[in-house]
Each structure stands twice: as structure tokens, then as C-alpha cells.
Amino acid sequence: MARTRPPVDTKQQPGFATMAAICLVLLYGPILVLMVFSLNSGKIVMHWEGVSLHWYAVAFQDADFHSAAKNTMIIAVTATVVSTAAATLAAIGMTRVRPWKGLTAAFMVINLPLMVPEIVTAVATLSFFALIAGAFGINLGIGNLIIAHTVFCIPFAYMPIRARLEDMDLTLDHAAADLYAPPWKTFRRITLPLLVPGIMSGAALAFIVSFDDFTITQLVAGPGQTTLPLFIWNQIRRPMTPEVNAISTILLSVSILLVAVSFLITRRRR
């Protein structure tokens, strides 16, 4: 009788700890440097002169920063709501029904933005809106950005919601059907409350993807449609001050907060 080999503990392999430490330093070292130098009191970005919150005050008093933050929130919130609703309907239609012809193809189409390089998606989106504007004279302004972000965010919202639906036991649904509950009431009273953690997790991911997006926004945005990532990009093309570090730290803090919320929701669900 062959002996069963014990499972290999990757953490005990030679060099694992060293490689892990190197990866952590390379990933988070620059972020830590950015956050530290956002507290620099001097006018030179990478020349330390002391601790101060001066550049945070400068950032919050900047009218262009306020405008960019307003645009970012309008786009991100709208894209999150619409993409999460669409992702929820798609997930229900692909998991809570009998398998139908074309299910695999539909799954691939929904998740295609995750596999296609973002620059390709950005160029394709720009070409599409340019075609619509040329053929019909339609230009939705900031609505173009909202549509682009919504479509791009759908797969990010879809994956956690689908995972939640696949983990849910159908016993309660069957019990409701046995008690003559109509499908809509079963969904509202049973399925939806159990699905809320997945929806919240998907919404958090969709929001952070839209909030941080640069590539698609750079190509699709028109005059007066600057978002925070574009604002930072425009700032670094000028003589830089620690204000850029302060704004980047604010953006980073929001991203970390939302990722942590999504993680905690997913962990609680499990």
C-alpha cells in the first residue's frame, strides 16, 4: 500500500520568507513613502523639512480639487448603483434558474472586461461615443463617463454577488414555494435579505474601481469632467509640491477603507 505524502507547507520552503518580505517592501514601501512625505512641511516633494498638515489644508482649499472630487463622487455613486443592480439581475438570471442555452457565453461576455486590457476598452469606448456623436449628434457629457464606468464595473460587482448566490441553500426557497409564496415575495423576504452581504461587497468593489479609474476616464472625459485621478495626473505635469502627496494619500485612504469594508463583508458572509 502506497504511503500518502504529507501536504507541503509552502511557508516552510527555503527562501519563502525572504521573497515574501521583498514583495511586501516593493508593493507597500512606495505607498508608505508617499504617505510620510504628504506630511512634509517644505515645498519640495521629496526633501524633508518637518511634519505639518499644511498641504492637506492647501488641498482642501483648492477649488479644482473640490470640482474633481464632486465629479468623481457623481460618477462613482451612479455607476455603482446601476452596475450593482444590473449585476444582481444577471447573477440571479444565471444561477437561480435552470441552465439555458447560451449560459456559458453570457458568463464570458459579462466577465470580458476583466480579461481585456483596460486601454483597449478605453479606446473602444471612445470610438463608440465618437461614432454616436458623429452619426446622431448625441453627446451626453458626463453621462458618457457614467455609462463607461457602469459597463466596466458590472463584472466587479457580479462576481461577489454570484458567489453569494451559489453559496445560498435553496431549502428556504423550496419551503416558501411549498407554502404557496409567489416568486416575488420569496425573493423579497428570503433571497434578497440573504443576498445583501454579496450585494454590498459587489457595490464596494464597483465603487472603488470607478473611484480610482484613470485609463478609461482619461480617454472619454471631456472639458470640465476632471476626476480625482485626472486631477492628480494634471498636478504632476506641473512643478510638483507635497500637495500632490496629500491628495494621493486622501485617494488612497478612501480606496483602502472601501477594500477593507468589502473584505470584512465577505469574511462575515463566510
Residue 162 C-alpha from the chain's centroid: 16
pLDDT band at residue 174 using 50, 70 and 90 as cut-offs:
confident
Which cell numbers in the block locate residue 94?
444565471
CATH number of the domain to which 96 belongs: 1.10.3720.10
- List pLDDT tens digits, range 34-71: 888 888 888 877 778 888 888 888 888 888 888 998 99
pLDDT (average), residues 262-267 = 71
Q: Report the candidate in 181, 173, 126 with the shortest Cα–Cα distance to residue 152.
A: 126
Range with the poorest average pLDDT among 9-13, 98-102, 139-143, 254-258: 9-13
pLDDT at 164 over 90: no
Amino acid 5: pLDDT: 64
| Phi, psi angle pair for 116, to nearest 5° | -80, 135
The listed range with the strongest mean pLDDT (2-11, 139-148, 168-177, 235-244) is: 139-148
Number of domains in the chain: 1
The answer to the question of residue 44 being in a domain is no
Task: Output the CA–CA distances (angstroms, integers) from residue 128 to 49, 115, 159, 265, 269, in the order listed.
Answer: 49, 20, 26, 36, 39
The answer to the question of residue 1 being in a domain is no
pLDDT at 210 over 60: yes
The answer to the question of residue 38 being in a domain is no
pLDDT at 96 over 90: no
Compute the mean pLDDT over every residue in the chain, rounded to the nearest whole number. 84
- Provide the whole-model pTM: 0.82
Sign of the dihedral defined by the CA atoms of residues 135, 138, 142, 146, in that order: negative
pLDDT (average), residues 156-160 = 90
The answer to the question of residue 103 being in a domain is yes
pLDDT band at residue 30 using 50, 70 and 90 as cut-offs:
confident
The answer to the question of residue 9 being in a domain is no
Q: Which domain holds residue 161?
A: 54-269
The answer to the question of residue 114 being in a domain is yes
Question: Rounded to an integer, what distance in angstroms lies between the CA atom of residue 25 and that of residue 32?
Answer: 10
pLDDT at 106 over 60: yes
- List pLDDT tens digits, range 177-209: 777 777 778 778 888 888 888 888 889 889 989
pLDDT (average), residues 7-33 = 80
pLDDT (average), residues 67-82 = 93
pLDDT > 70 fraction of the chain, expressed in percent and rounded: 93
| Phi, psi angle pair for 79, to nearest 5° | -65, -35
The answer to the question of residue 221 being in a domain is yes
